Structure 1
Amino acid sequence: MASDDLAVPKGNSQLHHYVSKDNTQHIISEETSSRVSGVSDHEDQLDRAPFIAVSPIQQSHGPTFTPGRTTEKPKPRSQKLTTSYIPLLAVLGYIGLFLFAWIVLCLLAYKPITTKSYGVLLSNDGSSDQDYRDGGYRTMYKQSERWFRAARVIHVVVAVLTLPVVSIACAAAAAVYVQRRGSKWTLRQTMALADRAWQSPTLAARALVSFKRYASVFLLMALALNALGLILLPLQSVFLSSRVIKTPNQLVTTGGVTDIFDAIDTGRRSAVVAARAAMASTNLYAPYSRLWTRSKISCSGTVQYDESTSTKTWMGLPCSGYGPTAPTFGNMSLLSDPFWAQLPASTSTGLIRQFSLRVNSTATKQVITAADFPAACSPSGNSFFATYSGNSPTINQDVPGTNYSVSACMPYNQGMSPWKATRARQDFYEELYLSFSLGRQSSGSDTGYYKIRVNTTAGYFELPNYMNGQVAGPLLANGPNGLCGPDCYEQGTSKNPIKNSSLLRRASPIVGNMSANSLTAEFKSNTGPLLMTAIAMFGNGSMLSTRALHPDSYSDNYTKVETGDLAGADLCYERIPFVPLLSRYTYMPDTCATLTNGDTGLFSQQYKMVDALYSSASAEDGGFENAFTVAAVLANEAYFTTTDTTGGLATGLTPSFSVSYDMGADTTIPAISKSTIIALSVLMAIFLAALLALAVYGTLYPVWTHQLDSWAMLRIGASLAESATLRAGDASKSSIPDETPGWIGDSTQGESQYGEVAVGGSGRLNKRRAYLSI
């Protein structure tokens, strides 16, 4: 029979190749080959040992012979086992992206990448000022926002890649794992790894329920690694959010602010005039922009009714019509730490830390007797003393009373200014004694003696900014020096600067009490708020003083209003100073000064002012104390803001202080707490270390397959063709996978020149040895 006409035997006989002399391939049956060369004994032994079967990728070759000639053995095809580094490279790339996104997000939560801080960092030498004023800082924070956007995109990419990368690493490591097992490893356990049960909830549940049949240490580790990778990214999404903050944008500086050194001993005489005008025009129930308070106020004005006296007392702030951020002078006792500052109470310096002068004056009243009135008060010396009296020229119903007398006294040395040239806290008090006597047409006379004490505290405070929650800071006991950091912009003059204390510490110079400009208290320029109030009410230029010195100028007969709704009313030519401040719920004085009825009209205006003062002082509704507190605030404002003008030029007070601000620009940054960063970082370290260890493990040994996948199981199934068939049935009920070894080894145990990869091979696979290949 010719070689190309050889018949292929039927049945389950093993097929073998052989090559004739002319290199023509032939297929012979097991029986034919045994008759020719007797080489079928080896295959018969494999059939009888189902646990030691050669994998299809390493087929054994029969002998090569030429009919009628001596048989020659051909050199079989073989190769050494190799290692794939692709899973390791994939894991390393994944870890790089993972760490990049996480590190960038954590850094950006507390610090920009392009500069040192999200806040302002100013240099004392002013080297960065111009760039800051031109808005150059903004570029750096825009770059950080781009980093943030890139990190978020990579974070999403990492989330998508997590399970695929973990699966690749597990499949590669599983190929190594199944060839390093012992005799107890079954084919069913190998099948569970090949099915990638770590990614299938159904298979994972079945493996955990039938632990001995399906599960293994490797599968449990793979399940844990996948579960950790599955929850890490959602955990980041839960605890990692974003927020909008303000970052440096552009520096703006406002000048014309008074430093305490500017106001001391500057020889100004117009401050009293300004204070007197303010006391005549101020409305207690209108918002006052320079009145500050350190906490929110309640503007729901309430009225308390005293049944025993049938009187009503105003107990709240009548500012509901102006909003909760606009306090008024209506009842300063209800404000929390009220004080005067030159800048409006709505001021905010944003990202810049700045300081300003603040002054707080509070008045109290004490009823005294005639014996308590100071005997040292006199028109001479350095004490302040003024007294006025008058009698009605006629007795008729148009005249409110028959006579009046009022005396005001501030004893002791009023020639010494209470103010000190220091930015540190300073406290002082002043006392004013008042005596009243009024003759009534119908009820005799009224007399009263009172002592007014005004306590004044001055110093510096931190203006509202983003760092302190947009709330005015407390009074600084030692001034702002030593508290200013790199987010402060320099204030003050070169002699007394406020600047970064980390580079310079300079104490505010303490200067002794300033001397008066004149031995007469009334003509001094550095007056305290109560003395200025007393001069405005009773000193030279006051309403009582001018009318007493120049009565003819105020006693002309003025006609009444002739037409309109006010026909018949007296003409009002000015408001009486201080009297508008006495307005309360229980007492609303007439604040209008009129000129009618000649001398009778003049007396009436003087009497009206004294009567208003006495009526408020004798009441117990707090109005008198509130009026002097308001007057002290207005006096402080006049003292620290009024500039004399001589020949058209400003003289005296020259403000040298400035305030800088930067309201910033919106910048989006990650938001995550440091404790969360630590906790998540620990979990991530465990996850990434385990993943990397798994990937490295997959490269430590040469493998018979680079992935324990369908191709690998096809090869295993081919070597077990007689045991595993396509017949219908429940795979979980079959005993074959449980009885068949699942490990991969060398069936030759190193005794042959070439190794043979086999299911259940008793020898370990070796990277230095060649194995039969396809």
Structure 2
Amino acid sequence: MEGRNSQIALQALSRRSSVSEMSRGTTSFNDEDATRTHATHNVPSGSGGLHDELPAYSRAAPPDQFAGRGNSAVLHRSGELPFFTIVFAALVIYSWVVLVILSFRPISAHSWEPFTDEYGRYEKNSNYKLDDHLYRSARIIQSIASVLILPWTSAVCAYAAVIFVQNQKDGLSLTMRQVMNLADRRWMDGTLIAEIFSGSWKKNGSTFLALAVFLHFLALLIYPIQSIVINPTTRHVPTYPVLMGQISDLSRMRAEQDEDSGSDVVQARSAFSKADKHTWQPQLWEKGGHQQFSTFKNLSEMNDPFYSPLPNGFNGGVLRQYAPRINSNATVQIIERDEYPLDCGSDDDNLFASYSSVYTRYPNNAHLYSRSFEISACMVVSSTVSPWTETRNRQNFTETLYINVTNPDIDYSTSPLANGTLFRISLNTTAGYFELPSYMNNQTAGPLLDTDPTGDCDEGGYGCIQQAARYYYNPSRLMKRQDSSRDNSTIDTEQTVPWAHMLTSRKGPLMTTALAIFGPGSFLNTFYAEFNKTKSDMIDANLSSGSQTLSSSNSLCIEVAPLMNMYSRSGYSYVNPDSCISSYLSELGEYYYSANPHDLVARWIDSMFNDESTLENTINAAAFLVNKRFVEALYPTFDIYQDLGMEVKSPESTVAGIVVATIFLGLWIIPLIALAFYGSVSPRWTSRLDSFAMLRFGAFYGSGIFPMLVSRRTKDIKELDEVSGVVRDVGTVTDDPIIPIGRIGLGEGKPLQRSRRYECYKGDSEVLTPSEASKIRRGG
């Protein structure tokens, strides 16, 4: 019996070890030829040949043993790994889907942004606790999966490789070298790449190995790509809006305001007297800037400065809010005589003002001489047409003011006004609406919009809330001041004042500025009378009789000329631009002024108009103040909301990044699950293609083919490319016709059968089923 077992083993070995000869068409061979053919390459001289017999655990049952009572088992499927693979893939998909959704919107609410219904009503949002829990769970699962993805992919490939090796179409489909590459899991071995590029893929590779390499390449890239396209961030999510107040609306210029009595000019004149270069202007904005402490010092050099009724830097938080804005930009040019409008004062529609003065110094002195100045302003306009339009759309208009200054008697001969100068001041005004800073626009003021921005919010939407009020407030009363102009000076003066234009409705900013400086009640119009009245009152008061003694070094502030504080100190004795127009006192029996109104006005004119760039900056500041008054006088019917929200941690991404990462994830998950099911469809002869499986391969061929020798260059061992690595049903162990026990081998044979019993190890032996026992008792 022992000899018979050895003979079976040798015959099986001889059939497998002669694959190369079979491919050449050899039809007859014997054991000695086969052994000599394959063993002489590696077996040293003097060594033994094949083992005389197989190990005891591989022997078939003795002939006299009852058929079917040896160590045998039926092949079974394995479904555990596909189940756990589906669970693992589900967790991977769950973490990715949660991160993708949270990148664009919360799961517990409509949007990360505030949401209003079709009526502009604010919808109450979630507290976002669910989104926070989901985000944390997705990040934890993602971290765990990123560690397990490569070993899990490798385990699935090793699991499916068993079925791939046993389900080949014939015994010559795979060589032992190709199977060893699968058993070695060379899909994770970098040296395989070098062999592929060296042209040995056909020798080493297989379809399954290529698929495994592809899967591992994707598994290696999936989470680095996800970490690139999904970035953790801190979002400001809405809580509830707070109505901060109401501001003016450029589309609400009501008829009641059209009946203007000149209060705009009076208020502008008051603002001009207070304006300086150093005071912070909280409503002065700049395009793209985050500077909140702006002044008039370098207004002309700022990047698109403009006025808005809200303080610079107001933040809507999570709300998209809009507000009106007005920008007036002045250009000052010195022109020739022929560019100045001729006979400007002859047309009543034009704004025309003219002032002149002649002063004779020391009339009783032998050194008698006269001083004089003349200044006129002209605007070619219509007194009945306003440049403003009731609209939230962008509007633009330009005003032009001509000024003729002749100041020949100024003490400083270097003044450009000494021989007379003609100016053309063009003021371009642009008005409309802009988006206030918020978290959505990087807390930066948006540009001037061409159309009404509230249209989108009127129908509801993300981040919008209805701002335009549906009712009107009563108009606020505008403060008015009655001024009486008196001129009791003995100095020869001549004035032409544009009274009619004071009543023009909704004036442009340059016209208002011109009327405030040159019109009725202006400094030029009233200073002479005020000066003489002050002088007379001081003399009547007899200040010398008081307890306080005054000297010639004392000075008295008489008037703050318009925009005077916009200029630096000039060093003039009687014009101090950083405070006011003052006069020194002298005690010569009776108090009187050592200065005269002619000199004070002349020096102020020289301060205003002796430099083009300074004048340009001053006009811009004046226009800003006029625009401020204009907007503040409109009805406050435009709501301003704020919701600074609360901070929550969430991911953010782009659509393109999501698409790319999802494609990579799908290319990995779908083949991985397919491989797991592929490995569970057929009954398997071993759990996975591992080292123990290869140990049995070696036992099958014996030491005559693969002796225990030193090997460093396995690529040169030809037997690996000559012997088969396909697992097959190579025959039966016994000739019992009732329950034949099959034997698993390599190479030729039939595919493994599901219902057939095969030799197995003792621990895997299965008892006879009732049907098998009944069949044996019946004798087949």
> Normalising by the residue count of structure 1, what TM-score does the alignment of the two structures yield?
0.73
Q: Measured at CA, do residues 748 and 387 of structure 1 come closer, stay the same or move farther in structure 2, by a change above 3 Å? A: closer
Q: 1:279 matched to which residue of 2?
A: 272
Match of 1:420 among 389, 410, 429: 389
Q: 1:244 matched to which residue of 2?
A: 234
Say whether the 8 Å CA contact 1:723–1:736 is kept in structure 2: no
1:288 and 2:269 matched: no
Q: 1:164 matched to which residue of 2?
A: 151
Structure 1, residues 424-454: CA drift from partner, whole Å, max 9, x if none?
Answer: 2333344444444557387998655545443
Structure 1, residues 177-213: CA drift from partner, whole Å, max 9, x if none?
Answer: 2323433345555444444444455799789987677
Say whether the 8 Å CA contact 1:163–1:229 is kept in structure 2: yes
Amino acid at match of 1:488: C
Q: 2:309 matched to which residue of 1?
A: 342
Say whether the 8 Å CA contact 1:208–1:215 is kept in structure 2: no
Distance of 1:220 and 1:193 partners within structure 2: 10
Match of 2:327 among 360, 367, 392: 360
Q: Measured at CA, do residues 399 and 229 of structure 1 come closer, stay the same or move farther in structure 2, by a change above 3 Å? A: farther
Q: 2:526 matched to which residue of 1?
A: 546
Distance of 2:358 and 2:564 partners within structure 1: 21
1:464 and 2:442 matched: no
1:679 and 2:660 matched: yes
Say whether the 8 Å CA contact 1:391–1:603 is kept in structure 2: no
Q: 1:50 matched to which residue of 2?
A: 13
Match of 2:362 among 395, 403, 406: 395
Q: Measured at CA, do residues 203 and 621 of structure 1 come closer, stay the same or move farther in structure 2, by a change above 3 Å? A: closer
After TM superposition, give the deviation of residue 253 of structure 1 in Å: 2.5
Q: 1:476 matched to which residue of 2?
A: 449
Amino acid at match of 1:709: D
Amino acid at match of 2:396: D
Distance of 1:434 and 1:114 partners within structure 2: 66
Structure 1, residues 74-126: CA drift from partner, whole Å, max 9, x if none?
Answer: 76565431110112222222221222222332333333333333333322424
SS of alignment partner, residue 260 of structure 1: coil
Say whether the 8 Å CA contact 2:329–2:620 is kept in structure 1: yes
Q: Measured at CA, do residues 93 and 205 of structure 1 come closer, stay the same or move farther in structure 2, by a change above 3 Å? A: farther
After TM superposition, give the deviation of residue 489 of structure 1 in Å: 1.9
Structure 1, residues 467-515: CA drift from partner, whole Å, max 9, x if none?
Answer: 4444433333333244545322212222699xxxxxxxxxxxxxxxxxx
SS of alignment partner, residue 650 of structure 2: strand
Match of 1:594 among 579, 582, 594: 582
1:696 and 2:677 matched: yes
Q: Measured at CA, do residues 166 and 438 of structure 1 come closer, stay the same or move farther in structure 2, by a change above 3 Å? A: closer
Amino acid at match of 1:128: Y
After TM superposition, give the deviation of residue 519 of structure 1 in Å: 9.1
Distance of 1:355 and 1:399 partners within structure 2: 65
Amino acid at match of 2:285: W
Say whether the 8 Å CA contact 2:732–2:743 is kept in structure 1: no
1:577 and 2:556 matched: no
Amino acid at match of 2:166: Q
Q: 1:150 matched to which residue of 2?
A: 137
Q: Measured at CA, do residues 240 and 60 of structure 1 come closer, stay the same or move farther in structure 2, by a change above 3 Å? A: same
SS of alignment partner, residue 145 of structure 1: helix
Q: Measured at CA, do residues 162 and 55 of structure 1 come closer, stay the same or move farther in structure 2, by a change above 3 Å? A: farther
Distance of 1:730 and 1:118 partners within structure 2: 64
Distance of 2:223 and 2:437 partners within structure 1: 40
Q: Which moved more, 1:226-235 or 1:156-165?
A: 226-235
Q: 1:491 matched to which residue of 2?
A: 467
After TM superposition, give the deviation of residue 766 of structure 1 in Å: 1.2
Distance of 1:225 and 1:274 partners within structure 2: 78
Equivalent residues in 2 for 1:519-538, closer than 5 Å: 520-524=500-504, 526-538=506-518
Equivalent residues in 2 for 1:434-473, closer than 5 Å: 434-438=403-407, 440=409, 447-473=420-446
Distance of 1:382 and 1:208 partners within structure 2: 91
Say whether the 8 Å CA contact 1:290–1:340 is kept in structure 2: yes
Equivalent residues in 2 for 1:305-316, closer than 5 Å: none
Distance of 1:723 and 1:564 partners within structure 2: 134
Residue ranges of structure 2 left out of the alignment (5+ in a row): 16-52, 474-497, 766-780
Distance of 2:72 and 2:600 partners within structure 1: 125
After TM superposition, give the deviation of residue 341 of structure 1 in Å: 1.8
- Identical-residue share of aligned pairs (%): 28
Say whether the 8 Å CA contact 2:360–2:369 is kept in structure 1: no
Say whether the 8 Å CA contact 1:55–1:715 is kept in structure 2: no
Amino acid at match of 1:635: V
Match of 1:375 among 323, 332, 343: 343
Amino acid at match of 2:631: F
Say whether the 8 Å CA contact 1:436–1:610 is kept in structure 2: no
Distance of 1:144 and 1:495 partners within structure 2: 39
**Aligned Cα root-mean-square deviation (Å):** 4.5
After TM superposition, give the deviation of residue 57 of structure 1 in Å: 7.2
Match of 2:612 among 611, 616, 621: 621
Q: Measured at CA, do residues 531 and 81 of structure 1 come closer, stay the same or move farther in structure 2, by a change above 3 Å? A: same
SS of alignment partner, residue 243 of structure 2: strand
Structure 1, residues 248-284: CA drift from partner, whole Å, max 9, x if none?
Answer: 3442332241112455542565433332122112112
Q: Measured at CA, do residues 236 and 51 of structure 1 come closer, stay the same or move farther in structure 2, by a change above 3 Å? A: farther
Distance of 1:237 and 1:275 partners within structure 2: 59
1:121 and 2:121 matched: no
Amino acid at match of 2:656: S
Distance of 2:222 and 2:690 partners within structure 1: 27
Say whether the 8 Å CA contact 2:243–2:641 is kept in structure 1: yes
1:176 and 2:163 matched: yes
Say whether the 8 Å CA contact 2:730–2:743 is kept in structure 1: yes
Distance of 1:674 and 1:293 partners within structure 2: 33
Say whether the 8 Å CA contact 2:531–2:597 is kept in structure 1: no
How many correspondences in the alignment?
666
Q: 1:259 matched to which residue of 2?
A: 249
After TM superposition, give the deviation of residue 769 of structure 1 in Å: 2.8
Q: 1:708 matched to which residue of 2?
A: 689
SS of alignment partner, residue 596 of structure 2: helix
Say whether the 8 Å CA contact 2:166–2:751 is kept in structure 1: yes
Match of 1:92 among 79, 86, 97: 86
Say whether the 8 Å CA contact 2:176–2:724 is kept in structure 1: yes
Say whether the 8 Å CA contact 2:403–2:423 is kept in structure 1: yes
Q: Measured at CA, do residues 439 and 348 of structure 1 come closer, stay the same or move farther in structure 2, by a change above 3 Å? A: same
Equivalent residues in 2 for 1:2-41, closer than 5 Å: 30=2, 41=4
Say whether the 8 Å CA contact 1:242–1:668 is kept in structure 2: yes
Distance of 2:618 and 2:122 partners within structure 1: 49
Distance of 1:684 and 1:530 partners within structure 2: 65
SS of alignment partner, residue 571 of structure 1: strand
Distance of 2:297 and 2:368 partners within structure 1: 31
Say whether the 8 Å CA contact 1:56–1:718 is kept in structure 2: no
After TM superposition, give the deviation of residue 169 of structure 1 in Å: 1.8
SS of alignment partner, residue 418 of structure 1: coil
Q: Measured at CA, do residues 658 and 566 of structure 1 come closer, stay the same or move farther in structure 2, by a change above 3 Å? A: farther
Say whether the 8 Å CA contact 1:101–1:155 is kept in structure 2: yes
Equivalent residues in 2 for 1:647-662, closer than 5 Å: 653-662=634-643
**Higher relative contact order, structure no. (Cα contacts within 8 Å, ≥ 6 residues apart):** 2
SS of alignment partner, residue 271 of structure 2: helix
Match of 1:229 among 216, 219, 223: 219
> Normalising by the residue count of structure 2, what TM-score does the alignment of the two structures yield?
0.73
Q: Measured at CA, do residues 258 and 231 of structure 1 come closer, stay the same or move farther in structure 2, by a change above 3 Å? A: closer
Distance of 1:420 and 1:179 partners within structure 2: 86
SS of alignment partner, residue 525 of structure 2: helix
Distance of 2:440 and 2:215 partners within structure 1: 43
Say whether the 8 Å CA contact 1:462–1:474 is kept in structure 2: yes
Q: Measured at CA, do residues 421 and 83 of structure 1 come closer, stay the same or move farther in structure 2, by a change above 3 Å? A: same
Q: Measured at CA, do residues 490 and 674 of structure 1 come closer, stay the same or move farther in structure 2, by a change above 3 Å? A: closer
Structure 1, residues 734-771: CA drift from partner, whole Å, max 9, x if none?
Answer: 88766664333223379854241221361221113333
